[in-house]
Structure 1
Amino acid sequence: MLRAETESASFPRAKPAKMKGMNTMRSEYDFGKAKRGPVIQSPGKTRITIMLDDDVIEHFRQQAEIQGIGYQTMINAALRRAVAVKRQEQDDPPLTIATLRQVIREELHAS
């Protein structure tokens, strides 16, 4: 039995809905000026394609599901933390023996 026959048998008094002035479908649409991508742009964001290992993606997807946020948001946050650490290292380089010796020499020479 077809679906329409089943529905009409289940609902013998049902009639199709009539919508006045709702014939909004055109026979053809012109997509000549259309652009791909999201309708609303995300300021400060750039869409890219990136290849990541399956286990990395799966980790972020699992964590995202637990925390109730998007896995791409979590990947972005992890990358941000890595960039922040790198910038901190560049702004405040680690103290090495050579640097310590240089400071001691400068201090001894100044006194």
Structure 2
Amino acid sequence: MPLSAGDRALALELKERLAGLGELVEFRVFGPRLRGDEARDMDVWAVFATVDGTLQMQVDAACIAVGFENGVTLCPLISSQNEASSPDAPPIVQKIRSEGVQI
């Protein structure tokens, strides 16, 4: 199921903010909102070239701010490019890539 227009606009707003924090390589929305359950949190996957503790805190803060402004709880999963492309990446990575919507 595709994203609603409102969810797509929210995801684009968040993606723009995250792109200002570091080299954002990939950004996807996944989870129950794609299946039409707009009462649920919005799960997002942000892949950056590199990730450190500071970036993780900044991403969390951006998700809280954008979510608060839009009345939606945003739940980020943050990965480095190396983690996302590793053959040992957790199964959720393949699931997000196959079922998530790239923004």
Greater relative contact order structure (CA < 8 Å, 6+ sep): 2
Q: TM-score, normalised on structure 2? A: 0.19
Structure label with greater radius of gyration? 1
Structure with bigger strand share is 2
